[in-house]
Amino acid sequence: MRKMKFILFFVAFLVAALSASAQISHGGEPLFNFSGEKVTINQVAMPFVDNDFYLQQDIAMTKGAGPMRVGVLQKTEINVLQQAKIVKDSRGTHFLLEVQSENATFVSLKFSSFKLPDGAELFFYDRSGDFVLGSFNASDVKEDGSFFTQSIPGDAVIIEYNVPQNQEPGELVINEVCHGYKELFSTVEGKGPHGSAEGSCHINVACPEGDDWRDQIRSVVALEIMDQSYAYMCSGALVNNTNLDRTPYVLSAFHCQELDFPPVSQIITYFLYETSSCTSTSGFSNKSVTGATILAKNSYNGGSDFMLLRLNSNIPNNYRPYYAGWDRSASGSNTVGCCVHHPGGDYKKISIPSAVNRISGQYSKFFNVYWFTGANNKGVTEEGSSGSPLFNADRRIIGQLFAGGSSCADMASSDLYGRFYYSWTGAGSNASSLQSWLDPTGSGVTTLDGLDYKDNDGIEGPRTVEPKNLTVYPNPSNGMVHFDVSAIGDANYKVFDMNGRCVKEGRTILTTTEQAVNLGSLPKGVYTMYLYTSNQSYVANVIIVK
């Protein structure tokens, strides 16, 4: 086998604006961060991590061993309720705790126990107060009872947990702290604040080269992948399926999960990271969804190096997601389109190939992609672009980036993209192919166009048909509302008062034996509840009595 350089995805974590929390949350502001109520809080210091040790290990690593490592996971047992500073006032009980990891460039937290009562709110922020996540509540817990945050810049995270009066505080136990050792948040002059491309030939997606690809650009995402010991970065793209139901499938590369200490323990997906203009050195922040399941994958060893994820949460409409189309045909699909990617963790770039060729022999399951050179430059890839989608001229995905040698210093080198055609059937099983997931209707189509987050009539999200009436019981209710629907799995709900204000929202898991939501935190009154499944919405009037 000839020596190759894998293209790895080096992207920094989100630096959010003060007014916008990136991780899916429920809004609001911390009480002690912005109101001027500064208090001395308790601190938990994690064991020292030698950043230089891991940086030197990275230098010595053979390229192509897997995705780019960016953080070290430390096991711990931090009981927030027992170790926090406690402040009591007329609003309730407030728990304040700082988790510090010396010299970390970013920190994220994983909770093994996450039990919040109705009305409780949880926030996370850095020492400056400029980066805020939250609020989070009882609806945000994962199926296994855990919860984890996206990465927060700096070497400390402040936890603010506010519990209303006369409520038991629940449980909050941290069992894992991610210590970032790569300088992902530093600002490099002329580069994005989340990272820096090595080369200077890359083209921002806001430039005219991206004008024909605005929808496809919105489909590209970044992936933070963790195993039992480390955090890594890779990339992918949202893809459409023949149900046209906006199931949050993400296509990426097999080697992104081929880690030193499997299995993958958690995945965070980041959206919208691009400059505000063609020449700008500042831009939009990412937004994130926590949790994903690997549905199918097939190795580069005899396969096409693909991985298909399903995000564990639906994607909010303010993320403006686009579900890219695809072409699985054996011929006629390799017309020149574009590649969208994040070289070196810099802002999102677009690269236009000069040629996309089918090849034979050892790499027959890959496209060989060539780039323009010299003054004709239209972008290339480099470390940081792995898993990025290759679109053909019809704006459909035909592959994902596997390996190659191109860079701004070597525009003449080509890159390999795993062919969608071979990923479709993979190794023949549902767990090694795309077919059953992206063609659940059994249509047999060879091409599928993309799908926006809203329909042409302006109705947003998966609600493509009129809501069905939902029978709830008991009604009136003291707060625990039961119902029966045919859907099984994740569902979102929103509750509106008589003035049309959304007063409660969350996520529930529909099973054959449990279909209910707890609205007990709402005052008595008449409400309208909407329930959203993957392909249907429901509506009911609910009367709450105390």
217 touches 274 (CB < 8 A)? yes
Given a cut of 60, whether residue 35 has pLDDT beyond it is no
Domains in the chain, please, with CATH? 42-180 (2.60.120.290), 208-452 (2.40.10.10), 468-544 (2.60.40.3080)
Choose from 47-56, 383-392, 526-535 the range with maximum mean pLDDT.
47-56
pLDDT at position 250: 98
Average pLDDT over every residue of 440-467:
71
Q: Does 285 participate in catalysis according to the annotation? A: no
Choose from 185-189, 392-396, 518-522 the range with maximum mean pLDDT.
392-396
In angstroms, the CA 122 to CA 128 distance is 18
| Residue environment code for 406-444, b if the CB has 16+ CB neighbours within 10 A, otherwise e | bbbeebebbbbbbbbbbbbebeeeeebbbbebbbeeeee
pLDDT at position 464: 40
Choose from 5-14, 69-78, 193-202, 448-457 the range with maximum mean pLDDT.
69-78
pLDDT at position 319: 87
Asked which of 7-11, 134-138, 195-199, 261-265 is least confident by mean pLDDT, the reply is 7-11
Contacts 24+ apart (CB under 8 A), 498-505: 498/525, 498/526, 498/527, 503/527, 505/26, 505/139
Q: Does 386 participate in catalysis according to the annotation? A: yes
Query: What predicted TM-score, i.e. pTM, was given to this entire model?
Result: 0.75
57 touches 229 (CB < 8 A)? no
123 touches 96 (CB < 8 A)? no
Q: Does 139 participate in catalysis according to the annotation? A: no
396 touches 356 (CB < 8 A)? no
In angstroms, the CA 256 to CA 334 distance is 24
Calculate Rg over the CA atoms of the chain. 24
Residue 131 tokens read as 């980066």
Asked which of 232-241, 329-338, 456-465 is least confident by mean pLDDT, the reply is 456-465
pLDDT at position 210: 94
Residue 182 or 441, more confident: 441
Residue 251 or 498, more confident: 251
pLDDT tens by residue, 55-100: 888 777 655 456 778 899 999 999 999 999 999 999 999 999 999 9
Catalytic residue among 126, 305, 439, 490: 305
pLDDT tens by residue, 363-389: 999 999 999 999 999 999 887 688 999
> For residue 158, what pLDDT band results from cuts at 50, 70 and 90?
very high
List Cβ neighbours of 511 (8 Å cut-off, separation of 6 or more).
Answer: 488
In angstroms, the CA 61 to CA 64 distance is 9
pLDDT at position 175: 96
pLDDT at position 461: 41
> For residue 1, what pLDDT band results from cuts at 50, 70 and 90?
very low
pLDDT at position 190: 43
pLDDT at position 273: 77
pLDDT tens by residue, 102-131: 999 889 999 999 999 989 999 999 888 878
Residue 216 or 145, more confident: 216
Catalytic residue among 386, 407, 414, 537: 386
- Percent of the chain clearing pLDDT 90 (strictly above): 46
Given a cut of 50, whether residue 20 has pLDDT beyond it is no
Average pLDDT over every residue of 25-52:
80
Given a cut of 80, whether residue 414 has pLDDT beyond it is yes
Residue type, 244: L
Catalytic residue among 255, 288, 385, 433: 255
